[in-house]
Structure 1
């Protein structure tokens, strides 16, 4: 018997963005809103070394930005 591994929303977002040349990292400061920062280059985390091209507040906003960039999610 095999069990399917269900992807998290973040994993789905990262995969979809990767297909259009974007990378995404998150930060949750504890105020209830996760930040999603988008990059055009790999090797960046939420805090750098380079600035992201967009920071979304919450998954809904992140998904909207990703879709606007051509990601299918």
Structure 2
């Protein structure tokens, strides 16, 4: 499966929110795997479930919208 780098995810979050995303780059820690990829494949296979959204822009936009709405409710 294909995946996205942390840098690609940060770039999308900046693009969608219009805000800088604080982060620190650092060396890989001992024991960190060289690559991690999230997948809904097992859920699809065993639970017959698939996500409604899978593209990064939609996921980040949806999360940002929910966050903005929750902020409005609590202010």
What's the TM-score, normalizing by structure 1?
Answer: 0.27
**Structure with more strand by fraction:** 1
Question: Which is greater in Rg?
Answer: 2
**Structure with more helix by fraction:** 2
> Which gives a bigger RCO, structure 1 or 2 (Cα 8 Å, sep 6+)?
2
